[in-house]
Amino acid sequence: MYELRGIRKVFAGGEAALDGVSLAVGRGEHVAFVGPSGAGKTTLFRILNLTLRPTAGTLVLDGRDVAGLSDAELRRARTRIGTIYQRQNLVGRLRVVHNVLAGNLGRWSTATALASLVRPRGAEEAARALEQVGMPEKLWARTDELSGGQQQRVAIARVLVQNPDVILADEPVSSVDPSLAVTIVSLLRDLSHERRKTLLMNLHSVELALAYFPRIVGIRDGRIHFDLAPARVTRELLAELYAGHRDDELQLERLQDGTRPFGGACRPLPGFAE
Amino acid sequence: MARGPSAAPVDRFPASPSRSVFPYVFGAVLLASVVFSLREAQVDPRRFVEGEALANVARFVRGAFPPKLSRDFLGLMARPALETIQISVMGTAIAVLIGLPLGLLATSSLTWRGILHERTSRSGRWTLGFVPYALSRATLSVLRSIPEYVWAFMFVRAVGLGPFPGVLAIGVAYGGMLGKVYSEILETMSPRPLETLHAAGAGKPGVILYGLVPQALPNVVAYTLYRWECAIRASAILGFVGAGGLGQQIELSMRMFQFDEVLTLLAILFALVAGVDWISGRIRARLA
Amino acid sequence: MARPAPARPARAFPLWAGAGFAALLVWSWHGTGVDPAALFGPEGLGQIAAYVRKLFPPDLSAHALRDAASGAVETFAISLIGSLLSVGIAAPLSLLATRTLLYRGILFEGRPPGPGARARRVALYAAGKATLRVLRTIPEIVWALIFVFMVGLGPFPGVLALGFHTGGVLGKLFGEVLEDVDPAPLEALQATGATRFQVLVYGVLPQALPQFVSYTLYRWEVNIRAAAMMGFVGAGGLGQRIHVAISLFHEHQLLTLILAIYLIVTLVDALSAYLRARLV
């Protein structure tokens, strides 16, 4: 699916956010990315969904170097990648139905897109997607009237409508309460599993990552620190990963104490050996 | 994606939202007024292509280029250009003189409502507070609702031709606008610092000076500067009714079909407006 | 033990700025021949009082009222159509005045335009900005003169004049709103594979629309006043009737017309405030 070679990203006037990331992700694989804030995880995801262009290095998507894509090909590639953001990045003044149906934009012609704003095209599809995330009654609500967790589910519904091959979820649960976090992470994992989609997720919570994902990538200072199965992610590796980041070190201590904020609600997914 | 049958039972899904009638009423009223107004305003794009219109455009454009840049003409125009600036400055100054006291009186939190008046008797609030408040609001409304050129016209009648009636017109009309906006700014100021000062025994002038002025000053100055930018445009226009400045020259040149002069005058106006915008922008940036 | 007071920090506005401001005032005072004595002296006050006395009472004969009413309606029509025309001019031009839709910002991070394309787009932006600037620098009344010259007398040139001038003002404001929208939803829309135009329609415009409406209503309030002035150069409305009344020394009728202006301006202000509250 993805192949990254020596990806480097330097923002104007800043330090390198990513510094030589090489990584391969196979089709249908589930991967969690962990690491302290500011490590470059979000930048990596924005490169993976083709929003940002790497300063150096190559990004190969399904065997093609994305740097060589034409404008139209680039858009087509983007339709195959669905992104869920940390902030929901929805248009607050539009109704939920439009935000969900925006997942179709890559397939729709301009005329269809315009017409749909007047009379939603395929509202049933949007309703079905909302049903899957557990809030069908919000179809016609105005998006900015929803709570943060509800908006996050609207964003997921949009990805369902988009029906991409890859789902990138950038800290999708950092602004919701723990029980909802478990629901959302397991929902994303189960949906991706059913439909054989590749799922990449940035997670602040190491506990969730270890419980739900068969492959954990630790990122620190724009570099890959480790890339292992959860069973082989040791306490020492995690301590190194988060060294100097107090909040995250506290999280690790809780993990060691056996205090589990997510209440051990994690179920292993059939088909993934642990 | 394994999609379900496309003909899903429709009643499973929430129907379209129940909307209020407002959008429909609004749309209908807007449409009716537009149709009516199109007729009333005699809008007729054909007038662009029929008759003399195109020839007139050509005449205007041909006549305007090259703009008249002779030394004599420019020297002659320097005076009205400077006069335009002077009218705008003086006009704004008078507008502040009119707008500030009326604006203070038209602020309910200063005259009769809110924390400063908890202890005042009801009748005291009414006579000393509400009556001046209502009167000043009414005055401001009249001042700003009559356009500046009507004021200019009347002042020309009252004090004669020249820049002075222009100054008075801008002063009076903009005084009305400044007063209203000043009072709006003052109304929205946080009352907490005022309460603290009041509780500390400060009198009304003290509360205004130490609590209100520091909070409101940046907005007040910024809005005044914005009005100054408008005043430079207005002062150029007022010349059309004989109140000095560039407008008078533009009208003269236009009436005499001297389009090359018109273009030069417009360029001068352009430069003046841009200069004033720049200065006022710089000051506002310093304030922010 | 007295410690030395800390040094006074530099003022935000140095003294020379204050002195310059004072000089500007004095210079303007002299240049404009401001003469409070003439205004407030017995002679000046007497003149004003005499003039005001001549205005009263307003002429309330059926003929004068009909004239004022038709002028008010015409003025209203000019302001409404002129404002709509200005939106029609401003909306497309404002897209050219928005850098974030042309060559920079989140929509261009994935694939920045090549040097040639970029140069063309920067030129397009500069041209859009320059056009808007010219449109709004020429005052309404000068536009009215030009259009009267082109299409003849009547309210139509007034409509065009308002549309062109206000189009320039609104185009600038709209462009600023468009550049200021939250880029995060745009990033998300683009990531679904939406075209730039679709991002504009689904992400940029819904965010910008309330401010567009609010600015347009505000300019309508300005335009009703301007529409009442157009008549001075032959572009219809109340202004034309006022011009006639003043030239013919029909002072009572003049007061009726001024009252009509006051009414129509107050009405539009109230309407605009109501719509702003309802729509935004």
**Which tokens go with A184?**
């959302």
Q: Give the distance between the most distant pair of CA atoms in chain A.
A: 58
Query: Under an 8 A CB cutoff, do B8 and A163 touch?
Result: no
Helix (H) or strand (E) holding C113: none
| Per-range mean pLDDT, top range of A84-93, B122-131, C143-152, C201-210 | C201-210
Looking at residue C187, its pLDDT comes to 92
**Which tokens go with A14?**
């800043």
Distances (CA, A) of A109 to A97, A100, A197: 18, 17, 26
Query: Under an 8 A CB cutoff, do B4 and A128 touch?
Result: yes
pLDDT at residue C29 tops 60: yes
Query: Under an 8 A CB cutoff, do A139 and B13 touch?
Result: yes
C225-261 pLDDT, tens digit each? 888 888 878 877 888 888 888 888 888 888 899 899 8
Q: Which of B140-154, C93-107, C121-135 has the lowest mean pLDDT?
A: B140-154
pLDDT averaged over every residue in chain A: 86
Looking at residue B119, its pLDDT comes to 63
Using an 8 Å CB-CB cutoff, list chain A residues near C187: 46, 51, 85, 89
DSSP states of C194-231: --HHHHIIIIIHHHHHHHHHHHHHHHHHHHHHHHHHHG
Give me the phi and psi of C257, to 5 degrees please.
-65, -40
- Please compute, for residue A197, the number of CA atoms within 13 A of its CA located in the half-sphere on the CB side: 27
Radius of gyration, alpha carbons of chain C: 26
Residue-range domains of chain C with CATH: 61-279 (1.10.3720.10)
Query: Under an 8 A CB cutoff, do A124 and B1 touch?
Result: no
Distance CA C225, CA C229 (A): 7
pLDDT averaged over every residue in chain B: 80
Looking at residue C104, its pLDDT comes to 86
A186-198 residues labelled b (16+ CB within 10 A) or e (exposed)? bbbbebbbeeebb
CA distance A246 to chain B (A): 37
B184-214 pLDDT, tens digit each? 888 877 777 777 777 777 777 777 777 777 7
Looking at residue B1, its pLDDT comes to 39
Distances (CA, A) of A181 to A123, B50, B285, C110, C254: 27, 70, 45, 31, 72
User: Per residue, what are the HEC states of A111-139?
Assistant: HHHHHHHHCCCCHHHHHHHHHHCCCHHHC
Give the residue among B88, B149, B64 at the shortest CA–CA distance from B275.
B88
Give the residue among B193, B246, B233 at the shortest CA–CA distance from B82.
B246
Check if A267 contacts B (Cβ < 8 Å). Answer: no
Task: Indicate the pLDDT class of residue A180, thresholds 50, 70 and 90.
Answer: confident
Nearest CA in chain A to C210: A93
Residues 20-59 of C with CB under 8 A from A: none
Looking at residue C8, its pLDDT comes to 67
Using an 8 Å CB-CB cutoff, list chain B residues near C258: 146, 150
Contacts of B85 (CB under 8 A, 6+ apart): B232, B235, B272, B276, C28
CA distance B94 to chain C (A): 11
Peptide bond into C57 cis (omega under 30): yes
Task: Indicate the pLDDT class of residue B50, thresholds 50, 70 and 90.
Answer: confident
Q: Which residue has the higher pLDDT, A82 or C280?
A: A82
The amino acid at B164? F
Strand partners, A25: A2
Q: What is the ipTM of this complex?
A: 0.85
Using an 8 Å CB-CB cutoff, list chain A residues near C195: 75, 105, 110
pLDDT at residue C102 tops 80: yes
CB of B73 closer than 8 Å to CB of B263: no
Q: Between β-strands A2-10 and A56-61, what pairing exists: parallel, antiparallel or unpaired? A: antiparallel
pLDDT at residue C171 tops 90: yes
Task: Indicate the pLDDT class of residue A33, thresholds 50, 70 and 90.
Answer: very high
Using an 8 Å CB-CB cutoff, list chain A residues near C210: 93
Distances (CA, A) of A273 to A28, A229, A237: 15, 10, 22
What number is the average pLDDT over the span C62-88?
91
Q: Which among C137, C155, C159 has the least Cβ separation from residue B273?
A: C137
CA distance A123 to chain B (A): 9
Nearest CA in chain C to B277: C137
Q: What is the dihedral of CA C126, C131, C136, C142, to 10 degrees?
A: 150
Peptide bond into B66 cis (omega under 30): yes
Q: Which among B3, B10, B17 has the least Cβ separation from residue A140?
A: B17
Give the residue among C55, C140, C44 at the shortest CA–CA distance from B164.
C44
Check if C191 contacts A (Cβ < 8 Å). Answer: yes
CA distance B84 to chain C (A): 9
**Residues A198, A202, A206: CA angle, nearest 5 degrees:** 115
Give the residue among A200, A199, A209 at the shortest CA–CA distance from A248.
A209
Q: Which among C29, C51, C146 has the least Cβ separation from residue B60?
A: C146
Distance CA B58, CA C171 (A): 27
Give the residue among A249, A226, A170 at the shortest CA–CA distance from A203.
A170
CB of B157 closer than 8 Å to CB of C250: no
Q: Which among C192, C201, C207 has the least Cβ separation from residue A162?
A: C192
Looking at residue A202, its pLDDT comes to 93
Helix (H) or strand (E) holding A242: helix A235-242
Looking at residue B112, its pLDDT comes to 67
CB of B108 closer than 8 Å to CB of B114: yes
Using an 8 Å CB-CB cutoff, list chain B residues near A95: 17
Query: Under an 8 A CB cutoff, do A128 and B10 touch?
Result: no
C83-92 pLDDT, tens digit each? 999 999 999 9
Query: Under an 8 A CB cutoff, do B147 and C155 touch?
Result: no
DSSP structure class, residue B74:
H
pLDDT at residue B13 tops 60: no
Using an 8 Å CB-CB cutoff, list chain A residues near C207: 91-93
Q: Between β-strands A81-84 and A166-170, what pairing exists: parallel, antiparallel or unpaired? A: parallel
CA distance A84 to chain B (A): 19
CB of C228 closer than 8 Å to CB of C239: yes
Looking at residue B216, its pLDDT comes to 81
Looking at residue A256, its pLDDT comes to 65
* Domain residue spans of chain B: 67-287
A206-251 pLDDT, tens digit each? 888 988 999 999 999 999 999 999 888 888 888 888 888 777 777 7
Check if C193 contacts A (Cβ < 8 Å). Answer: yes
Strand partners, A81: A166
DSSP structure class, residue A141:
S
Query: Under an 8 A CB cutoff, do A49 and C106 touch?
Result: no
Distance CA A173, CA A98 (A): 23
Query: Under an 8 A CB cutoff, do C233 and B240 touch?
Result: yes
User: Per residue, what are the HEC states of chain B?
Assistant: CCCCCCCCCHHHCCCCCCCCCHHHHHHHHHHHHHHHHHHHCCCCCHHHHCCCHHHHHHHHHHHHCCCCCCHHHHHHHHHHHHHHHHHHHHHHHHHHHHHHHHHHHCCHHHHCCCHHHCCCCHHHHHHHHHHHHHHHHHHHHHHHHCCHHHHHHHHHHHHCCCHHHHHHHHHHHHHHHHHHHHHHHHHCCCCHHHHHHHHCCCCHHHHHHHHHHHHHHHHHHHHHHHHHHHHHHHHHHHHHHCCCCHHHHHHHHHHCCCHHHHHHHHHHHHHHHHHHHHHHHHHHHHHC
Assess if CATH 3.30.413.10 describes domain A2-257: no
Map residue C32 onto helix, strand or coil.
coil
**Which tokens go with B125?**
């609030």
Helices (H), B68-162: 71-105, 108-111, 122-124, 131-145, 148-159
Give the residue among A164, A183, A162, A163 at the shortest CA–CA distance from A172.
A183
A38-96 pLDDT, tens digit each? 889 999 999 999 999 899 999 999 888 988 888 888 989 999 999 998 877 898 888 99
Query: Under an 8 A CB cutoff, do B14 and A136 touch?
Result: yes
pLDDT at residue A266 tops 70: no
Query: Under an 8 A CB cutoff, do C33 and B82 touch?
Result: no
What number is the average pLDDT over the span A1-28?
89
Distance CA B242, CA A233 (A): 86
Using an 8 Å CB-CB cutoff, list chain A residues near B14: 127, 136-137, 139-140
Contacts of A3 (CB under 8 A, 6+ apart): A23, A24, A25, A59, A60
**With pLDDT > 70 as the criterion, what percentage of chain C qualifies?**
95
The amino acid at C254? L
Check if A142 contacts C (Cβ < 8 Å). Answer: no
Using an 8 Å CB-CB cutoff, list chain B residues near A136: 13-14
Question: Which chains does chain C touch, 3 or more C-beta pairs < 8 A?
Answer: A, B
Map residue B8 onto helix, strand or coil.
coil
Give the residue among C190, C206, C188 at the shortest CA–CA distance from C198.
C190
Q: Which among A51, A91, A158 has the least Cβ separation from residue C207?
A: A91
**Which tokens go with B65?**
């280029």
Homologous superfamily, domain B67-287: MetI-like (1.10.3720.10)
Using an 8 Å CB-CB cutoff, list chain B residues near A125: 3
B246-282 pLDDT, tens digit each? 888 888 888 888 888 888 888 888 888 888 888 888 8
pLDDT at residue A272 tops 50: no
A246-256 pLDDT, tens digit each? 777 777 777 66
Query: Under an 8 A CB cutoff, do C151 and B145 touch?
Result: no
CB of A241 closer than 8 Å to CB of A34: yes
Distance CA A214, CA A75 (A): 30
Looking at residue A18, its pLDDT comes to 92
CB of C165 closer than 8 Å to CB of C136: yes
